Structure 1
Amino acid sequence: MKPTTPRTPGRPKRKEQEIPVYETVLFTASRLFMELGYEAVSLQQIAKACGITKASIYYYFDGKPQLFTASVSAVLERARAATEQLLDQQLPLRERLIQVSEVKLARSHGDFETIMREARSSLSQEQLDEITSKEESIHYCLAEHLTNSMESGEIRKIDPLLTAHAFSAVLMLGIREIAKGTPADKLARDIVDLFWDGLSI
């Protein structure tokens, strides 16, 4: 009988399974973390939702902080890509901002700031920096398009990065309204109207 080579505990049986399992863990973990927060989610819970063993998660990640960092970074990277795709459209900036708002509000889960406050003490500075970098990439993407609209005369000139941060902050407040049952499409337009026109009559 041909001897078999021992494999590391928790390692998927076939090499071709590695990428799908990794992606499944990442997707499932990001969904659970964003919906329930950091403390409420365990590796055992993630493993059960993925249909794998907890040891399989440890094959890819050193522990919960690393998995949280990777999954949240993946969420933020997808958000940046979606934001860039919407802002690249040949539409007036106001309409593009409404579409960005609609997508963000419709896909919102938990309060991201609350989730990060909960996780912060468990993460290393390097992990916090990685998440912050991904979050900032969304602001830089928005700031770039704001700059283009300022240069074309579509909107007045003001610090584009500050404006991007302000817009994101208003959207974060909007997510709390979504939880109260306000329709995403109406709220998105109201937020952009307030952001665009301010309080002027």
Structure 2
Amino acid sequence: MEKQTNRSPGRPPHYKDKQPTDELILFNASQLFLENSYQDVSMDDVAKACNVTKASVYYYYKTKSELYTETMIRLMYRIQNMTLQLLNEDKPFRTRLLNVAEAYLKVSVDLDTERFIHNAKNMLSKEQLTAIQKAEEAMYTSMEEFFQEATDQGIISPINPAFAVHGYISLLNTGNYKNADKQTIFSSPQEAAKQIVDFFWKGLTKDIQDPQN
């Protein structure tokens, strides 16, 4: 007689997984949500992308809004961790900004936080929207100390670090801009990063380079 298990219905056996099922679901769901709108992605789509049953998806995430919220939060923190790792390297501040720009432009090519929140706004709870916004804000605030440090060391002109970070990320977001014909401003993330950082750096160091202006 086959031995019975106490595994809950819908929960996949982990020994068959190449990675934990919840992580597999989050990874594939993030790709689907980035490429499509919230409304166009179903739990069936996520299950098919993961090659698991829909029951397995619902075992870990009770609703699509819960899954969406978690994928967005994880994505924000993944970008944050990548950024902090590059900013902590023992390199000139401008070089670190350039490296962050290249990496950010590569991973955020389909990331438009405002669009994602707008598309799902009526489907998410207030708490879920707040959680996503807090994760996004954490991505910004974690970078502020590096700009403050650069100011304290006289590398850049005195500037509000929060304003500097938001300005920097806003410029980076233009690097992935596409017009109605899906054409980008720059030919590659490397070109975009260089031109954006060159432009941004002139503003950061204007007073240092030319005290008369």
TM-score w.r.t. structure 1 length?
Answer: 0.90
Aligned residues: 200
Q: Which has the higher helix share?
A: 1
User: Structure 1 residues 192, 59: closer, same or farther in 2, change over 3 A?
Assistant: same
The answer as to whether partners of 1:34 and 1:112 remain within 8 angstroms in 2 is: no
User: Structure 1 residues 174, 14: closer, same or farther in 2, change over 3 A?
Assistant: closer
**1:35 CA drift (Å):** 2.1
Query: 2:183 aligned to 172, 180, 184, which one?
Result: 180
Structure having greater relative contact order (Cα 8 Å, sep ≥ 6) = 1
| More displaced 10-residue stretch of structure 1: 44-53 or 87-96 | 87-96
Do structure 1's residue 12 and structure 2's residue 17 form an aligned pair?
A: no
| More displaced 10-residue stretch of structure 1: 64-73 or 105-114 | 105-114
Corresponding position of 2:145: 144
| More displaced 10-residue stretch of structure 1: 109-118 or 181-190 | 109-118
User: Structure 1 residues 43, 136: closer, same or farther in 2, change over 3 A?
Assistant: same
The answer as to whether partners of 2:14 and 2:20 remain within 8 angstroms in 1 is: no
| More displaced 10-residue stretch of structure 1: 177-186 or 83-92 | 177-186
| More displaced 10-residue stretch of structure 1: 104-113 or 65-74 | 104-113
Corresponding position of 2:115: 114
Any idea what the Cα deviations from partners look like across 1:118-168, whole Å, max 9, x if unmatched? Answer: 011111111111111111111112111001101111001111011111111
Instruction: State the alpha-carbon separation in 2 of the partners of residues 18 and 63 from structure 1.
Output: 24
Instruction: State the alpha-carbon separation in 1 of the partners of residues 189 and 153 from structure 2.
Output: 30
Identity fraction in percent? 35
Instruction: State the alpha-carbon separation in 2 of the partners of residues 59 and 27 from structure 1.
Output: 16
User: Structure 1 residues 51, 158: closer, same or farther in 2, change over 3 A?
Assistant: same
Corresponding position of 1:67: 67
Do structure 1's residue 36 and structure 2's residue 36 form an aligned pair?
A: yes
Corresponding position of 2:202: 197
TM-score w.r.t. structure 2 length?
Answer: 0.85
Unaligned runs of 5+ in 2: none
The answer as to whether partners of 1:37 and 1:118 remain within 8 angstroms in 2 is: yes
The answer as to whether partners of 1:37 and 1:115 remain within 8 angstroms in 2 is: yes
Unaligned runs of 5+ in 1: none
Corresponding position of 1:132: 133
Q: What is the root-mean-square deviation of aligned Cα atoms in Å?
A: 2.3
